[in-house]
Amino acid sequence: MSTTNAASRASVLVPLPLQGPYDYLLAEGGEGQRGLVVRAPLGKREILGVVWGKAEGDIAPEKLRSATALLPEQRLPPSLCDFVDWVARYTLAPRGAVLAQVLRAPDAFDPEKPRPAFVLGTRPEGRLTPAREKILTLMADGLARSMPDIAEQAGVSPGVVKGLAETGALRSASLPEFMPFAIPDQNYVEVTLSPDQAEAALHLREAVVKNEYSAHLLDGVTGSGKTESYFEAVAEALAQGRQALILLPEIALTVQFLDRFAARFGCRPAEWHSEMTERERRRTYRAVMGGHARVVAGARSALFLPFPELGLIIADEEHDQAYKQDEGVVYNARDMAVVRARIENCPVVLSSATPSLETWLNAKNGRYAWLKLPSRHGVAEMPEILLVDLRAESEPGKYLSTPLLEGLKGVLASGEQALLFLNRRGYAPLTLCSACGHKETCRNCSAWMVEHRYRGRLVCHHCGFETKRPQKCSSCEAVESFIPCGPGVERVEEELRASLPDARIAIASSDTLASPKDMRRLLESFGRGEIDILIGTQIVAKGHHFPQLTLAGVIDADLGGVGGDPRSSERSFQVLYQVAGRAGRAEKPGRVLIQTRNPDDPVMQALKSGARDAFLAREAETRERAGAPPFGRLAALLLAGPDGDKVRDAARALAASAPKGRGVRVWGPAPAFYQVLRGKTRERLLVQAERNIDIQDYLRVWLGAQKIPSSVRLTVDIDPMSFF
Ligand code: ADP
Ligand code: ZN
């Protein structure tokens, strides 16, 4: 044996979609330290890696390359490494790809870069210019400030600051790279809870104090104080000296949420989501890793942050589909939140007014504690829900029924507000040539082009391709022959303006709101009563609280899911219930009008009667009979590539090679709902297995033996939510 002995080897995982980990040489002491972050050479590059454990191979030491450990405090908690292993096993993603979710701010591991600054130096002699006087007055407090800050705060140009510094009147100093995060104060306000809330809060506090794994469904109608109640659990985590993670399905939702948190705890939580700059990421990541950020509110990716002292996870709106990540590592953050809590040995709280069937069943059979908040807080009552039968109440070419228009007039007359919900961007979902019946489709996707009339364009909602609205039909060349079919938010607005010319109307959709800031501005304006009627897509369906909003209208409740989606009823119910939940959240009672052509549908009936649990029980029965999740297991395989024939061949070959097994069926291949997206042809296979079957094992054996052409990409989706 050589002198570079086995003790100085370690297996290191790198954040790339490779199998791994790989063995490296490591300076003494690093070998057993799972989670230690290192710089490792890979090919010609050097990248970050993480010590995963003892070296596994028996390559001669002289053939191994050396990795360099970073500072001991720059490390991932070993529990996070366990989580990465677990997620990789479950999703079938390469471990390195899952690690990449963790190392999302690689420069967080670089040494701190102090910022150059100045403090007051020696008092200069003689007369000073007024600009220089201003600087000295500002700096008299002795605080260090950066040059741009001095210039801004003193109201002078940076050149003046520089000139003064050269005289010795300002001395160089340095500031920490980042402002520290404020510590939320669990006693910032005194909270008076209703008896139901108090019971739920006490239960959650006790779970946090116990400091072991437990799962809880916080199930309360919209406006019942679920947020208020789980804040008590966060307060307890703070009191116990542990960190807390609050997952939110969308950043748009955090706009009001952050202020709400600040009102309870005296400062905002740290944030984590895709709209952050690199620098903000680096700041938050370091603060989480160092234990300085005590509470993080974030989107699903926050689940992979390196909390050293995690004591509580909350998944708000747990049923929300935005928790599912569909690309790269395909996972559901709600489910993985439960897994992380189990690994960290801490409580997890799933909160919703419309729990997913999976979670509801887990609560029903006692696997999760079930905390119920059956009524709205304070004087607010649940809104009255009415169905409007469009078969009887609508005129051709109109999308607002008489009862809905009457309702809106009433709202305007009393100075209240209304929300109209339609999950269709643009003017009309389909544009048809009246001469030949041709439908304009995207050149990259097998999807219709959607007219956006304000901008005079046709847009593909899948790849973003757009063109000017053509004058002539591209098929028969008829001039101005296009007719819009069906409603979009713009068309509803047009109709509304014609019927209610004095109303102040705004549209909230991802077209009109480019950034969370725009969203915030619009919501604030609505909150101030500057808008009477807000027409919105799903981005306004949830979370928001507007005391003057007394009428919610659903333009078309029948826009359900596509064929083959076992969750389409459940989802319709959830989104319509959430929309309904916006109405009547304060003193004034609310009303909800749901326009539908299927008033007898179980979803509509459940909404009308408020019989949510009966609806879920029925859903459960239907799915049990079909062996659908959660009674059976599903995995979707999607093959996609630029060459349609190659994709179809690969899909056929894959299906033909599926091992025969008891309790497993493989369906397909079949063209995906959108057969071509972004120029890629797509074929799908669906694997259905009985509940007791290890579907991952089955897939590993099957897919491991397959050779798929490099131009075809295979995505495995365990527990698929999307059937497009
Ligand atoms: P949910 O999360 O269930 O929709 P929220 O926690 O948002 O409900 O509560 C709805 C509204 O009622 C909010 O404006 C909230 O501030 C208020 N509220 C709820 N519980 C209380 C309480 N105990 N004291 C004061 N206000 C409360
Ligand atoms: Zn397209």
Q: Minimum-distance ligand to the CA of 544?
A: 1
Q: Is 222 in the pocket of ligand 1 (CB under 6 A)?
A: yes
Phi, psi torsion values for 402, nearest 5 degrees: -60, -50
Q: Minimum-distance ligand to the CA of 256?
A: 1
Task: Report how far Cα 269 is from the mean position of its chain's Cα atoms.
Answer: 17
* CA distances for 684 relative to 560, 567, 631, 655, 717, angstroms: 21, 18, 22, 10, 11
Phi, psi torsion values for 467, nearest 5 degrees: -135, 165
Q: Is 198 in the pocket of ligand 1 (CB under 6 A)?
A: no
**What is the pLDDT at residue 200?**
97
Return the best residue to mutate from 218, 227, 585 for the ligand 1 pocket (most ligand atoms within 8 A of CB): 227
Report d(CA 81, CA 99) in Å as an integer: 8
Neighbours of 24 (CB within 10 A): 25
Residue 524 CB contacts under 8 Å (≥ 6 apart), including other chains: none
Protein residue with least CA distance to atom 6, ligand 1: 225
Helix (H) or strand (E) holding 717, with range, is strand 713-718
Ligand 2: distance of its center to the CA of 444 in Å?
5
Q: Is 194 in the pocket of ligand 1 (CB under 6 A)?
A: yes
E-strand ranges in 556-710 read 591-596, 632-641, 664-677, 680-690
The alpha carbon dihedral of 120, 121, 122, 125 has a sign of negative
Are 482 and 431 within 8 A, CB to CB? yes
Burial of 211 (0-12, 13-18, 19+ CB in 10 A): middle
Report d(CA 723, CA 562) in Å as an integer: 7
Token code pair at residue 34: 């799972």
Token code pair at residue 464: 């973003």
Residue type, 195: P
Protein residue with least CA distance to atom 23, ligand 1: 193
Ligand 1: distance of its center to the CA of 224 in Å?
6
* CA distances for 125 relative to 93, 162, 163, 168, angstroms: 69, 17, 15, 11
Cα dihedral: 709, 713, 716, 722 (round 10): -140
DSSP letters, 469-524, are: PPSB-TTT--BT-EEEES--HHHHHHHHHHH-TTS-EEEESTTT--SHHHHHHHHH
Q: What percent of the chain has a predicted confidence (pLDDT) above 90?
A: 63
Are 592 and 583 within 8 A, CB to CB? yes
Report d(CA 540, CA 551) in Å as an integer: 14
Are 258 and 297 within 8 A, CB to CB? yes
Return the best residue to mutate from 248, 377, 545 for the ligand 1 pocket (most ligand atoms within 8 A of CB): 377
Ligand 2: distance of its center to the CA of 110 in Å?
41
- The stretches in the chain having pLDDT less than 50 are 1-7
Report d(CA 489, CA 508) in Å as an integer: 9
Three-point CA angle 370, 374, 378, nearest 5°: 130
Collapsing DSSP to helix, strand or coil, 70 comes out as coil
Are 363 and 373 within 8 A, CB to CB? no
DSSP letter for 370, please: E
Report d(CA 564, CA 685) in Å as an integer: 12
Residue type, 419: L
Q: Is 193 in the pocket of ligand 1 (CB under 6 A)?
A: yes
Determine if the peptide bond prior to 630 is cis (ω within 30°): yes
Task: Report how far Cα 383 is from the mean position of its chain's Cα atoms.
Answer: 28
Report d(CA 128, CA 121) in Å as an integer: 15
* Ligand 1 atom nearest to 224, measured from its CA: 3
Are 352 and 314 within 8 A, CB to CB? no
* CA distances for 406 relative to 73, 190, 400, 689, angstroms: 64, 43, 10, 51
Token code pair at residue 96: 């390195």
**What is the pLDDT at residue 521?**
86
Ligand 2: distance of its center to the CA of 449 in Å?
8
Ligand 1: distance of its center to the CA of 275 in Å?
27
Three-point CA angle 96, 632, 318, nearest 5°: 65
Report d(CA 233, CA 229) in Å as an integer: 7
Phi, psi torsion values for 165, nearest 5 degrees: -60, -35
Nearest to 66 by CA among 111, 106, 31, 97: 31
Token code pair at residue 14: 């790198």
Rg (CA), the chain: 29
Instruction: Mark 604-632 as b/e (b = at least 16 C-beta within 10 Å).
Output: bebbeeeebeebbeebbeebeeebbbbbb
Q: Minimum-distance ligand to the CA of 462?
A: 2
Residues forming a β-bridge with 281: none
Three-point CA angle 664, 669, 675, nearest 5°: 140
**What is the pLDDT at residue 30?**
61
Task: Report how far Cα 420 is from the mean position of its chain's Cα atoms.
Answer: 24
Q: Is 192 in the pocket of ligand 1 (CB under 6 A)?
A: yes
Strands 324-325 and 331-332: antiparallel
Report d(CA 106, CA 317) in Å as an integer: 30
Cα dihedral: 104, 106, 107, 108 (round 10): 70
